[in-house]
Amino acid sequence: MIRLTASLSALLLLTSLSVAGPAQDYADNCQDCHGAGRLGGVGPALIPETLGRMRGPDLDTVIRDGRKATQMPAFADILNDEQIEALAAFLKEPLGEVPDRTETEIAASLVINEDYQPVETPVWQSDPMNITLVVETGDHHVSVLDGDTFETLDRFATPFAVHGGPKFSPDGRYVFIMSRDGWVQKYDLYALQEVGRVRAGLNSRNIAMSHDGKWLAVANYLPMTLTILSTEDLSVATVMDVTAKDGTASRVSAVYQAPNRKSFILALKDAPEIWEVATDPDADPVYEGFVHSREKGMVEALPSSEGLFARRRILTAEPLDDFFFDDDYRHLVGASRDGARGVVVNLNVGREIAELPLEGMPHLGSGISWERDGHRVMATPHLKEGKLSVIDTETWKQIATIKTDGPGFFLRSHENTPYFWADVFFGPNKDEIHVIDKESLEIVKTLKPVEGATVAHVEFTKDGRYALVSVWEDDGAVIVYDATTLEEVRRLPMRKPSGKYNVWNKITFSEGTSH
């Protein structure tokens, strides 16, 4: 009897703890902004997949003190230290069940900017082809720069934690921006106004624009889908479940635009397959199934899909991601899971044709290519080794390894410059950026614009005359260099600027930029 009473009171205590515990604190204090189920509302989703990307102070501190220059208030007067700690731990727990994101739910999230006024011509005088966007991750904004004068034409708020390159419409008029929370924002560069936004996924990777500018694909981790939106009004064209041939559901590592193939290419995180999704209404039928025909007594191929969004599977030996594409999009190079090899896949015949020894986790998505000694070569940085690998894209042989002062994230060049630029993102030399000769493959200069600050990611102006470099810090800057003399010409203060994107370089698929 006594034992029963003790366990009963323990049970009661547990129950009361769980009722008044972090879940209840979440419901009382966080849910209004961050949504029921922690999936986001006006505030970002509070799930490990999103929080893992959080920069700056740790979660306990943010709950206690709030976040400056955002709507996140301080909870120090409402929750004690123990409650804050428990709440932070609760938010870091994975969700028990991954909710669906159906077409209806996506459509219901659409927010159109009521104040948006379309215009016939730009409301500014600058060269529309030389506009450059700077993503400022410090306070989740994008600055719109005139690429000739470097004046800021506008600075607008984005959803939380933008990742990957914004994608421009083929005429350079609109830009689409994606956050890791799955929001896709459409912004009119002529009117300098947001058109609207829609939540296409719960945890998303990146976006890609179709060859004709009509469709925008969104690669999702949560749920495991590819969402395709109409670029015109952000309506949902389709949501494709990403399920491998053997029935395994897979996250989509990334979706890429392959304009001259008139398709999207998908990297599957959890299955040994690459998908190609047609953006051409006249795409040939894709044959995937085989049946035995009783009448004909033979094996017949059945078309599984055709036309717009027809899906083709390319089977690989293991899952590959982080793709580099050659100029005509006939081949891609993907990284193997162990981060030690690059695998070359011929997309036309749909199979692997070569392997490259690329130890040290190549970051192929940042790869760039150029013509050297009559050969087209590509270079890739490595995330875990201080080196760049240079590969001949005709023979698929590695022709050089350039030693750097540390592992880097991004490479960039331009048709009109003899150099390519490589950051040293990780380690003690993160404040350096190497400028390398495209012919000799020698480092010609190492710039160190701000001692101790992370310096990374380069973008060129349309003509390749200036190179813009991010000082990736809260009180950071974009530094404009003369791309020939390598002298600094301007310093534009910015809040933790990350990627920069020039309209012309992006819509013409410049060889010096990742696509």
Q: Which one, 73 or 339, has the nearer CB to ligand DHE? A: 339
Q: Which of residues 174-193 bind ligand DHE (CB under 6 A)?
A: none
Chain position carrying tokens 């990374």:
456
Q: Which of residues 438-497 bind ligand DHE (CB under 6 A)?
A: 457
Residue 86: name the closest of 60, 66, 64 by CA.
Answer: 60
x/- map, 315-334, ligand DHE, by CB under 6 A: -------x------------
CB of 236 to ligand DHE, least distance (A): 20
Residue 495: name the closest of 468, 472, 463, 464 by CA.
Answer: 472
CB of 304 to ligand DHE, least distance (A): 27
User: Contact 256/219 with Cβ under 8 angstroms?
Assistant: no
Q: What angle do CA 325, 160, 227 make, to 5 degrees?
A: 50
342 binds ligand DHE (CB under 6 A): no
CB of 164 to ligand DHE, least distance (A): 3
CB of 303 to ligand DHE, least distance (A): 30
Choosing from 203, 204, 206, 263, the residue that interacts with ligand DHE (CB under 6 A) is 206
User: Contact 467/451 with Cβ under 8 angstroms?
Assistant: no
CA–CA gap between residue 7 and residue 381 (Å, rounded): 59
Which residue stretch of 158-166, 328-336, 352-360, 430-438 sits at the interface with ligand DHE (rule: CB under 6 A)?
158-166
Structure letter (DSSP) for residue 364: G
Other Cβ atoms within 10 Å of 379 Cβ, number: 25
User: Contact 103/237 with Cβ under 8 angstroms?
Assistant: no
Choosing from 259, 334, 476, 499, the residue that interacts with ligand DHE (CB under 6 A) is 499
141 binds ligand DHE (CB under 6 A): no
Choosing from 83, 179, 389, 514, the residue that interacts with ligand DHE (CB under 6 A) is 514
Provide the CA 349 distance to its chain's centre, in angstroms: 28
Other Cβ atoms within 10 Å of 293 Cβ, number: 9
CB of 257 to ligand DHE, least distance (A): 8
User: Contact 463/416 with Cβ under 8 angstroms?
Assistant: yes
Which residue stretch of 10-18, 94-102, 161-169, 342-350 sits at the interface with ligand DHE (rule: CB under 6 A)?
161-169
Choosing from 22, 40, 165, 319, the residue that interacts with ligand DHE (CB under 6 A) is 165
Beta bridge partners of 478: 470, 492
CB of 470 to ligand DHE, least distance (A): 9
250 binds ligand DHE (CB under 6 A): no
Other Cβ atoms within 10 Å of 129 Cβ, number: 15
142 binds ligand DHE (CB under 6 A): no
CA–CA gap between residue 23 and residue 31 (Å, rounded): 10
Choosing from 44, 164, 172, 381, the residue that interacts with ligand DHE (CB under 6 A) is 164
x/- map, 45-64, ligand DHE, by CB under 6 A: --------x-----------
CB of 451 to ligand DHE, least distance (A): 21
Which residue stretch of 37-45, 160-168, 294-302, 342-350 sits at the interface with ligand DHE (rule: CB under 6 A)?
160-168
407 binds ligand DHE (CB under 6 A): no
CA–CA gap between residue 432 and residue 297 (Å, rounded): 68
Helix (H) or strand (E) holding 25, with range, is: helix 22-29
Which residue stretch of 101-109, 159-167, 367-375, 436-444 sits at the interface with ligand DHE (rule: CB under 6 A)?
159-167
Provide the CA 252 distance to its chain's centre, in angstroms: 11
CA–CA gap between residue 269 and residue 253 (Å, rounded): 5
Choosing from 50, 130, 137, 413, the residue that interacts with ligand DHE (CB under 6 A) is 137
Choosing from 365, 381, 464, 512, the residue that interacts with ligand DHE (CB under 6 A) is 365
Torsion sign (Cα): 209, 338, 343, 376:
positive
263 binds ligand DHE (CB under 6 A): no
Q: Which one, 136 or 194, has the nearer CB to ligand DHE? A: 136
Q: Which one, 83 or 369, has the nearer CB to ligand DHE? A: 369
Total residues binding ligand DHE (CB under 6 A): 14
Residue 467: name the closest of 454, 453, 450, 479 by CA.
Answer: 479
User: Contact 128/172 with Cβ under 8 angstroms?
Assistant: yes
The order of strands in the sheet holding 488-494 is 455-460, 466-471, 476-482, 488-494
Q: Which one, 322 or 432, has the nearer CB to ligand DHE? A: 322
Which residue stretch of 13-21, 122-130, 157-165, 244-252 sits at the interface with ligand DHE (rule: CB under 6 A)?
157-165
CB of 10 to ligand DHE, least distance (A): 41
CA–CA gap between residue 200 and residue 237 (Å, rounded): 11
User: Contact 144/153 with Cβ under 8 angstroms?
Assistant: yes
Interface residues toward ligand DHE, by CB under 6 A = 53, 137, 163-165, 206, 254, 322, 365, 409, 457, 498-499, 514
